[in-house]
Structure 1
Amino acid sequence: MKNVLKKISSQLHLWLGISSGLVVFIVALTGCILVFEEELEPVINRSFHIVAVPENSSRLSLDSLTHLVQAQFPKNKLSRIIVEKEENRSILFGFKQGKKEKELLTAAMNPYTGQLIGSRAEHDTFFEVVLRLHRYLCMGDTGKVITGISCICFLVIMITGLVLWWPNRKNQKQRFTIKWDASPKRLNWDLHAVFGFYVLPFVFLIALTGLVWSYKWVNNLIYLAFDGKPQQKREAPAQLSLMGKSATHYQEILSETHKLLPNPGKVTFTTLDADSLSITIAKTDDAAAISNVVSFLYFSKTDGSLVSTRLYKDETPGFKARRVVFPIHTGSLWGLPTKIIAFIASFIAASLPVTGIIIWLGRKKKGKKKTKKALTKSDRIKPEILVKKSVI
């Protein structure tokens, strides 16, 4: 029974690995890069995000900055504002660009001088391209299907790999240690099997949580498990009165947000372009034990008054479970330590298809040599058989 299980696992591991290897390599490698997106983005595009903080100088009001930036882009509709917690960060204004919702033009403003630092199409930024490659292979819905199937294949590959790796009394040491001074063939096997074993729990969690973005039913399963019902659609409360719509109260809203939610964290304004909805404020809680803790406040577009609140502490278990999926997937759950683990695990995961293909090609070459040797041997035997036959 054990031998049958290993034989089935071997075939599944091999052919699923060959069929999904390239996709797994791309997704894992891009995942490595995305782990540190939050840290790398201000470094790569420093002039866009970082500003000099003048001595004894106060920031301009958010309303003033909004008027200044809208004057620069009169044909575009403002859809979001991002205010980072750090004093030396620029204020980011997102404008709708094109017909698609996700096509945003982001403008960076210096909050101390009111100067436009620059603008960029989010669709073309480095990390946005990497993200599309990671989720869809830059192929839209078709790529989403391919990455989803490959993710399931990779989960099966890890399970079958564990079955094949499982040690016996004779090879226990070999299964847990890498022989660095071994032949290239043996070293490659160790890198595949031993490293694969050590990162398996982390990579399995990363791949499993990745299914949430590939399949809606997996997302709903989280809510069903914790809330007993599928995810409920949530949106900002309706904007009942549109009188005074031309006025802006963004600074007043920002000040009220900091009063109600005094914790440090990024503040994001959205639904600014939806006349029928209140302004949605999302503020992260960087002081929380885990990342991705967000509370929501809703303000009136008319006078900036608070309409309603949706605090994280009052959310359903299903919502909280769903919020923790992203930090588990990206490794940001407990900050830098878990990010480093996720980076290493993803990097090794990207190497597994490469080392696996090398193992397969080596065995294939060995099989050809054995066949050739057997044929050569049979050619040598044939004359002797003929002689025997003639004597008889």
Structure 2
Amino acid sequence: MKLIDTLHRWTGGIIGLVLAILGLTGALLVHKDSWVLLPHAGDAQVQETAHLAAVTQQVMGDPVAQPQSLTFASQNFGLLRLTFKEGAGAYADQDGTIVTRWQSQWERPEIWMFDLHHHLFSGDSGETVIGIAAVCGLFFVVTGILLWWKTRKTFAFRLWPARMSRPAIVRHHRDLGVVIAPLLLLSLLTGAILVFRPLAALMFGPGAPALIDKALQGPPPRPAKLNDQLDWAQMIRTARARFPDAEVRSISLPRKDNGLITLRMRSPEEWLPNGRTTLWFAADNGALVASRDAADLPMTVRGYNLLYPLHTAKVGGLPFRIVMTLSGLALTLLGSLAVWTFWFRKPKAVRTSARRPAVPRYRQSS
């Protein structure tokens, strides 16, 4: 148990700040759709096929101002989002009129905060660090429960330490951690699996990672250059004809040299915000190359697709968003105080002063 305690303290002191950043940014991003205050952000979602086809043709059919991708308005956010190269982007109303533009992610707090939460501003390497932090967080939860069990009789729930002394902070850390442990397990486990897909084997079985990779793989790349005169509206009509009940979510230009345009849709039974129902169109002539119905995915893959909406509270409405907000704020508090007590509130060494041996006194005989 002493070894567990040492590992818990040292790992927490090193990685606690990263977990605190993830907790705070996650708690804020859960409510992102509510605090992006722009005109038409609260407009009702429009999913009428003719309207979507016309807007898509207008936005994607302009070769001069063509975005890399177009994300359509959702039920909770009434603006279109356009993304361009080098971090530039724009929001537009559902008629395609630009509401605001930016040339860098630093101009939009919700975008740079998303990058911080997912990549620590460091791309793939930052994402790896986040995954490692999430795995460490799972270790903290398990070992924390084991360490708490010894002192369970002194349990006292507090939102804040009784005093800012090291013993009071450690006790608060221990007791708050055991209360919030189920929510932390949900946040950290889903986050770790989303970063490190092989960890899906822990939840879905040994063959799950390979099955997920195969099921979510797109069609083979094809050598085709993007045509400036594509009929983007027809792609929307084709998608709606094939999946009439699905919500059109996004359309993206080919990545690298695959020569395929990707159109994503969300079926009514899907929790994933942008869905896994996908169609691929040839970049040179706009012909449909392949399609995937999310309802046909294996049960394991459909279970994996639930992790992201659970992690980001995209299901359950306001009550679940509040629950995941509490998880993020608790992680922020636990991580930041762990770092502070470990590096700056160490117990002072007890100084012992050497005492001179007592000299016996002898009474002088008379």
Q: Could you report, residue by residue, the CA deviation over 1:315-345 in whole angstroms, capped at 9, with x for unpaired residues?
A: 1334323322212322334343322211101
Q: 8 Å contact 2:25–2:113 — kept in the other structure?
A: yes
Larger Rg: 1
Distance in 2, Cα, partners of 1:253 & 1:315: 23
Identify the match of residue 165 of structure 1 among 137, 148, 161.
Answer: 148
Shift of 1:313: 0.8
- Alignment partner, residue 12 of structure 2: 17
Distance in 2, Cα, partners of 1:181 & 1:245: 62
Name the structure with the higher helix share: 1
Q: CA 1:356–1:69 in structure 2 vs 1: closer, same or farther (change >3 Å)?
A: same
Q: Could you report, residue by residue, the CA deviation over 1:80-111 in whole angstroms, capped at 9, with x for unpaired residues?
A: 2222246993443333x2xxxxx343244445
Q: 1:120-139, aligned counterparts within 5 Å?
A: 120-121=102-103, 123-124=105-106, 125-139=108-122
What is the SS of the residue equivalent to 2:155? Answer: helix
TM-score by length of 1: 0.73
Identify the match of residue 38 of structure 2 among 24, 46, 68.
Answer: 46
Q: Could you report, residue by residue, the CA deviation over 1:153-211 in whole angstroms, capped at 9, with x for unpaired residues?
A: 3222222211111156xx53x32544989656576445322221111122123222322
Shift of 1:363: 7.7
Provide structure 2 residue ranges, at least 5 long, that are not aligned to the other structure: none
Aligned identity (percent) is 19
Q: 1:69-80, aligned counterparts within 5 Å?
A: 69-71=62-64, 73=65, 78-80=67-69
What is the SS of the residue equivalent to 1:47? Answer: coil
Distance in 1, Cα, partners of 2:207 & 2:147: 33
Confirm whether residue 61 of structure 1 aligns to residue 54 of structure 2: yes
Confirm whether residue 36 of structure 1 aligns to residue 31 of structure 2: yes
Q: 8 Å contact 1:223–1:231 — kept in the other structure?
A: no
Q: Could you report, residue by residue, the CA deviation over 1:294-314 in whole angstroms, capped at 9, with x for unpaired residues?
A: 311234556655443200111
Q: 8 Å contact 2:263–2:279 — kept in the other structure?
A: yes
Identify the match of residue 204 of structure 1 among 185, 191, 199.
Answer: 185
- Alignment partner, residue 175 of structure 1: 155
- How many residues align? The count is 353
Provide structure 1 residue ranges, at least 5 long, that are not aligned to the other structure: 98-102
What is the SS of the residue equivalent to 1:46? Answer: coil
- Alignment partner, residue 249 of structure 1: 231
Distance in 1, Cα, partners of 2:156 & 2:136: 25
Give the number of the structure with larger relative contact order, counting CA–CA contacts within 8 Å between residues 6 or more apart: 2
The one-letter code matched in structure 1 to 2:306 is: V
The one-letter code matched in structure 2 to 1:147 is: I
TM-score by length of 2: 0.77
The one-letter code matched in structure 2 to 1:161 is: G
Distance in 2, Cα, partners of 1:272 & 1:128: 22
Distance in 2, Cα, partners of 1:250 & 1:26: 41
What is the SS of the residue equivalent to 1:81? Answer: strand
The one-letter code matched in structure 2 to 1:83 is: F
Q: 8 Å contact 1:226–1:317 — kept in the other structure?
A: no
- Alignment partner, residue 100 of structure 1: none
Q: 8 Å contact 2:61–2:229 — kept in the other structure?
A: no
